[in-house]
Structure 1
Amino acid sequence: MLPLNAVRFASTFKDVGTSQPLLGCGSCIDRPVCGGLHLRDTGALLVDCLSFCHCEDRSKCDMVCPNKPAEYVRRHEEVDGWDLSTIPLARDVDMPRLPEWIPLLQGNLVGPRITSVDDCVALPLTYALKGRKHATRARTQQELASAYGVRPRHGWVLSGVQEDPAVERVWPLPDIGRIARQMVHAGAIFATSPDFSTVIDCPRQDNLHAMKRIAWVWYHMTQGGLCTALHVNGRTDHDFVRWAAFIRNQTAVKAIAYEFLTGTATKLSIGQHCQRLTELAKQVGRDLTLVVRGNAEAARSLRGTFKQVVIIDSTPYMRAMKRRKAYVNPGGKASYVSVQADSRRETRALLKHNIRVLRLAATAPFERPVEDRQASFDFRSSPAQQDTDDESPQMPLFTD
């Protein structure tokens, strides 16, 4: 990765897809899979993606990088190369009916009393796991209910969008398919595959490795009988072309996942990523469900492109944890006011209220209020007095 003093150039390292690729891309053996990097105004700063490597001690770097040959070969072999077509065809799993908006919990706010707050409730994927390494297993139905104080009426939804240390916990698991079956038995009806990061200041081989891991975990979770959305993480336009080809071939992909929480959340990036998702949907050529974390506005803009757009939202939980009560302001947006909620009962009521209000704000079409004529009525002036035949009751000044 680049040194910290180069972070200010981060926007320069985002692939634009329209310029000439870097000079060194022409002779790279991974060019057919990678597609090359297309950056703007880098000049002689970057010759190829290996120009991002500035490690003083490469033994401490965890990136997949050709400058560490032995480690590079091992990481290449663990995913069976960068080509997505080497993954076998996955089994077909029925797509459940999902609401358009699902609240996500990140802890227990309601206490030991198990309550029902919604038809579907989401959890970060690793929150449904217990144990370490080879001893890892899925939590049982009772363990999930006790740990989070909630038993959803329809089922659990597991989100693979988490911080890198949590997501990386999934990859070394020896039997992801077995764990997926346990999740189904515990009440999970749907999941999104882990969001392994495709960072912009590293050699492209690290991105290709992350994408292949996403595809492998999706395959094993689906093989375990858990309907799983494929997280289409990518750094370049070509990455999304590859995902489209993979989805066309893998008919078991009924849903894809995307997040607008980190690098994709900037105003300059949202339009580009929405366009990439739109093009992917066109290239796939069949109905897909899109599951989104973050930026409800971007999600709504894609509703015409996908069969269904599902938003997973942690805001109700986070606001309730900070004792903030949601309401819909006159502009149709969610706003918050501080409240006192000291008891578990009050916190439970606050969480349920936030879920109800934020679902309304996220899914209900906003209609501007009809103009109230009374609001513009001038009460300082008296209306003309009329009698029953619409004539003034006063005597006329002039006779006919």
Structure 2
Amino acid sequence: MLKDTLGNRDKNRTALRDLAHNPYRRSTNLFCQGCADFNRCGGIAAKEGAGYCYNHCCGGKPDCETVCRQNPNFDAQIREIGGFDFGNIPHSAPLRAPALRGAAPLILHGKRRTGLLIAPIVAIKLRDLVNLRTGTLKYADRSALASAFKIRADSHLVITGIEQEHFVEPWWSLGRKARAPLLKEIAAMGIALVTPPNFSLFNDVPRTSNFSALKRIGMVQAEFNVAGIPCSLHPHIRNETDSARWVAYVAERPEIKSIAYEFSTGAGRYPVKDMHIEHLTRLAQQSGRPLDLVIRGDQRILPILRGVYRNVLYIDTNAFMKTMHRQSAIRSGNAGLDWVSQRTPEGAHLDDLLQHNVDEVTFATRHHLARAA
């Protein structure tokens, strides 16, 4: 059963894969040619009848929250982000950040362990650092955070905001005024790098909603940088025109030193996976300077992009979760990992199992990176 962007079941909805941009097999809808946003959009080549984005418009219902020209609140939506163009996003001075490469295990909590995880780089979620309802930090300082997650205080700490939409929007909803003092507090914790919230580009909405998400991606990344926190840009796209906009944006912003991308959901699926890889390649080759890359999702993409980026960091979401489910990593082939169940006594601590799994994922990641295309 298909679902819409709100998770509602709807047997009559077009499959999301049929809404994806696929210029190799589809043509741009004829209605796109006369659209006021065509130059900024470039058109979506999708299944017949599905590419014209206003086919997915509700017609401007009063309670609609989608950024859309039919929405009665469209003017207010545009004022909130200062228009769709990227030119008015604040600049910042380039920041110094450590060279991060290899694997960073995503750690969700410190339960079921007594000792500290030994890992040079560790990732935690933005929502595990910040109470998104109150806009306050959950930990008084870096030492308290390290103690709670049972990680070494000297590990490089990566904060990742890549999440499902219902965990991403609350960061924006805090508002710029509330985020400003919060960012100063985060800066004082000595964060190595942030990958900011990845506002989604849904397929089944008018493209103006996508343009709003793109602008917010740029604005939020700039906010972290202005606050003195090294932050990756998450330049998500739906088509080649989106890619061209990001390529031009990155080229003129020397403060952007790192790109973050997620290949575990939309970008990692057929038929758009190759388009996203090409997009990231163009960003690296046309930026005019070396860029770093942070990836979540499909490890097989690592060797493809390692050759065009200076440093590549893989945020691993498997080692911790597999440990909590009492599964152990077993090497398979040159760089593969199988996961096998492992019985543990009731109430047993999982320090050794987590360390083993993190070490094995780190080994596999290094192997993938060494096979740069």
Q: Normalising by the residue count of structure 2, what TM-score does the alignment of the two structures yield?
A: 0.89
- 2:249 corresponds in structure 1 to 246
Structure of larger gyration radius? 1
Alpha-carbon distance in structure 1 between the residues aligned to 2:329 and 2:319: 8
Alpha-carbon distance in structure 2 between the residues aligned to 1:35 and 1:138: 43
Q: 1:203: how far off?
A: 0.4
Change (3 A) 1:46 1:335: closer
- 1:396 corresponds in structure 2 to none
- 1:379 corresponds in structure 2 to none
**Preserved contact between residue 24 and residue 47 of structure 1 (Cα < 8 Å):** no
2:236 is aligned, of 224, 233, 250, to 233
Alpha-carbon distance in structure 1 between the residues aligned to 2:369 and 2:258: 27
> Which secondary structure state, in structure 2, belongs to the residue aligned with residue 264 of structure 1?
helix
Alpha-carbon distance in structure 2 between the residues aligned to 1:131 and 1:62: 20
- 1:158 corresponds in structure 2 to 159
Deviations along 1:259-281, one digit per CA (max 9) or x if unpaired, are 01111222433222111211222
Q: 1:249: how far off?
A: 1.4
- 1:388 corresponds in structure 2 to none
> Which secondary structure state, in structure 1, belongs to the residue aligned with residue 166 of structure 2?
helix
Deviations along 1:233-291, one digit per CA (max 9) or x if unpaired, are 11111111101111111110000110011112224332221112112222323211111
Deviations along 1:143-200, one digit per CA (max 9) or x if unpaired, are 3224322234232101121111111111122343432332232231111121000011
2:54 is aligned, of 26, 42, 50, to 50
Alpha-carbon distance in structure 2 between the residues aligned to 1:187 and 1:316: 25
1:94 is aligned, of 96, 100, 105, to 96
Q: 1:60: how far off?
A: 4.2
Alpha-carbon distance in structure 1 between the residues aligned to 2:312 and 2:132: 33
1:201 is aligned, of 204, 207, 215, to 204
Change (3 A) 1:49 1:106: same
Change (3 A) 1:107 1:59: farther
Q: 1:108: how far off?
A: 2.4
Change (3 A) 1:91 1:172: farther
Alpha-carbon distance in structure 2 between the residues aligned to 1:365 and 1:5: 40
The 10-residue stretch of structure 1 (349-358 or 19-28) with the greater mean CA deviation from structure 2: 19-28
| Structure 1: unaligned runs, 5 residues or longer | 368-400
Q: Normalising by the residue count of structure 1, what TM-score does the alignment of the two structures yield?
A: 0.83
Alpha-carbon distance in structure 1 between the residues aligned to 2:116 and 2:209: 43
2:65 is aligned, of 62, 66, 73, to 62
Instruction: Confirm or deny that 1:363 pairs with 2:369.
Output: no
| Structure 2: unaligned runs, 5 residues or longer | none
Alpha-carbon distance in structure 2 between the residues aligned to 1:6 and 1:127: 37
1:259 is aligned, of 248, 262, 265, to 262
- 1:125 corresponds in structure 2 to 126
**Preserved contact between residue 21 and residue 44 of structure 2 (Cα < 8 Å):** yes
Alpha-carbon distance in structure 2 between the residues aligned to 1:20 and 1:332: 39
> Which secondary structure state, in structure 2, belongs to the residue aligned with residue 336 of structure 1?
strand
Supply the AA of the counterpart residue of 2:253.
Q
Instruction: Confirm or deny that 1:73 pairs with 2:80.
Output: no
Deviations along 1:368-390, one digit per CA (max 9) or x if unpaired, are xxxxxxxxxxxxxxxxxxxxxxx
Change (3 A) 1:305 1:62: same
- Aligned length, in residue pairs: 360
**Preserved contact between residue 296 and residue 314 of structure 2 (Cα < 8 Å):** yes
Alpha-carbon distance in structure 2 between the residues aligned to 1:49 and 1:155: 43
Matches within 5 A, 1:185-334: 185-334=188-337
Task: Please provide the CA RMSD for this pair.
Answer: 2.4
2:15 is aligned, of 9, 13, 21, to 9
